[in-house]
Structure 1
Amino acid sequence: MKFINNRIFLFLAFALLGINLTVAQEILPVTKKDSVKPGAFQGRSKVDGVIAVVGDFIVLDSDIDMMFRELQAQNVPIKEVTRCELLGKLMEDKLYAHHAIQDSIIVSDAEVNETMNKQIDYFVEKLGSEQQMVTYFKKKSIDAFRTELSEMIKNQKLTEQMQKKIIEGVQITPEEVKQYFSAFKKEDLPIFGAEMEVAQIVIKPLISQAEKQKVIDKLKALKKEIQDGSSFYSKAVLYSEDRASGASGGFMKMNRKSQFVKEFKEAAFSLAEGEISDPIETEFGFHLIYVEKIRGQELDVRHILMSPKVTPEALQKAKEKAEMIRTKIVNGEISFADAARSESDEKETRNNGGLLINPKTFNNRFELTKLPPEIYNNISDLKDKEVSKPIRDVGERGEQTYKLMMVTDRFDEHTADYAKDYTKIKELALREKQRKEIGKWSDAKIKDTYIKVNGDYRKCPFTNHWVK
């Protein structure tokens, strides 16, 4: 939902997510190190069957084939990866998902559809078409692929929620951090890679009132057609620019605590069940909001998003403004941080002097080797404190802006130092404590859950005690 007021997207590690699909060829590998006999699977001719059961879930032989294809698509070396290792990972996921359902953890259809639509868009972009995507993943049709992907995403979200629940009460004390660090031998101390802090100033082109009025008029016309009997669902599919919800007819669930922008939330909660709003303006554009169902403090809503278009003249003026700001910074008339606070149109960073937030660590430092490509490409050639020339940027919804970027600080690779790197060491210690907590939970649940491993897979040297 791109109008949610949060630019930090926490993409989860789904089995089919985040894949760099650069190679579209089929591989069903057989590795000599696999403890399952090669005769147990023979490529296309093998009969797909249940190889494991975990609670209410099953694992098919073809699920492992799918994971191998995904690894290959990511250019991950698969020579040392065994079917046994992948089966162990799949069974762990099923264990979490099974107990998430037992604990009444709910994943909404809207949440699943949002993620699924993003992934399908990504696959189609990388592979060329829906048909090529279906062929690559060896599915009978796009509907079959969507069904399987939807189920996989739902299970992965259940897994994620279950893991969060397991560790939600885990905390770390300063004394535990000190004990964790003291346990390292000098030669085994962690090495922290080179890092940098990056700041940016974002200039958005001004949208003319005439362009805004075009969108308002279009949405008002759609509202009248819906009131005259047309389907809101169909109009959202056809016209909404919110790709995440558009394919599902603009559907979303929300409550008072949902992280939606203020204007959208206020408008939605002011409507009666079955009512459609007038066009509502937010930072993402204009919305028609339809309240489909009210359940106490929860709403089932649909919306249609349309954004006014930026004229070439407005874009040119934004570039000229960025150039003027850069000149003042270079001439010493104003600091980059002060310019960001007074001139940047990106409210998430301007109050912090333009400093970007690392979405993985929530601090301002980025490991040099893990910089997002869109950041690295813009700052790789910059010297310290050098201000880039205006950079034209196109966002996920096609919105265009101009950016000025600067590397504000650099930190060389170094061996962990307790005083200087306490925050990072604390994160490592907490992660280790969380890992142990998950391990204890897994050991206990494996004993209490119906689990069965079939055939030669029973010989696998699993880390967990799957074979009872």
Structure 2
Amino acid sequence: MKCNRLFYFIPFRAWLFCLGIFTPSPLPAAPQLLDRIVAVAEEDVILASELMRQVGAIKRQIGASGSRLPPDQVLRRQVLERMILHRLQLQLAQRQGIQIDDETLRQALLDLARRNQMDLDSFRRAIENEGMNYAQFVDDLRTELMLNRLRASQVNAQIQVSDREVAHFLETEGQTASSKGGEYHLGHILIATPAAASPEKIQQAQQKAQQIVAELEQGLDFHQTAIGMSDGAQALKGGDLGWRKREAIPTLFADIVPDMEKGDIRGPIRSPSGFHIIKLIDAKGTDTTHMVTESHVRHILVKTNEIIDDEEARRRLKLLAERIRKGENFSALAQAYSEDTGSAAKGGELGWITPDAVVPPFAAAMNELEEGELSDPVQTPFGWHLIQVLERKTRDDTLEYRKKRARQILTQRKVEEETELWLRKLRAEAYVEVNLDE
């Protein structure tokens, strides 16, 4: 398995922050090279060795993608700025007492392993086979989860989407699909302006963005330009925003992108963050009808504790399954033995449910069952389950699906926009000193 294939399935940036201090070995009859501070970020410092380690990792990543590397001084500046923002967020999280407990970390690792279609041991071996230290990988994941929780508390918790916004979205955007494609692969470059920027600073940023647009239209490589020039969050990925449905495009570009042809460049587009340049890399159509499969389900739950371990829980459920297959009444056994008190009183009944209404392991087991079939014991974070599907039906869920998706999309748009502003405010208000020789 190639490294780029593995990390295609891993939606987080933790492995880019494997930091350490490197002291070159002394050469005979020559002075030792001393490390130095290249940046101060509030209470923390960034050493030249740390920066070079990160730059090396980014160079390998860019090289593996087949893209041409920007000049070293440009790459160092970009990477250093990302490191500064990372340190500032980490300090804020620590001041607020944000921590990730071992169980949360374990569940995150299990989720990553499942996304790669592996168990945890296989996932660990895959990480080590890629030349990474697994303990460092886990530590970086804990840090990234902590920063995600920080951003959720600082930004996500403040985001609200009203029913009126959802209705307006469906009327103006959600019900229509462009004849040029329902999904768009976008590239993005941001030339940022500082908070409360002077008219002169704004004009300078605008002129810089206009010059970049002109050069891009003359054939300058967008991917490399984003790496070297963009202040956006995806700069080191060449400004790649990935595939997005029309309704998931940032509000600022929502009315522009559907009228673009493949390869078109648009900008500069003004926003509170600065001046944006976008490129339509590709577009494709989409199906606007959404069908949902519902299952009429009942279950028996056995929880683990100090007395009942996993093996004992499985044994108890296997005995119950054997009794049910021999003709005993499922409902009576659920009432007597299930530890899900809400459903036990109803004979284990969960009613009609969709896969997204339950945790993934339960949904996966449920989806594999035929009507009337009884599952083997299934483990979820809640304990061990015996599951039975009584009936199945498929219905058109398009309207409800669109409403749900509209709320998610509007929320994500606001989160992206507010996160960008929050990070710039955090950077602007912090004490930062940069000593980077160009």
TM-score scaled by length of structure 2: 0.46
Q: Which has the higher helix share?
A: 2
Q: Higher relative CO (CA 8 A, sep ≥ 6), structure 1 or 2?
A: 1
TM-score scaled by length of structure 1: 0.43
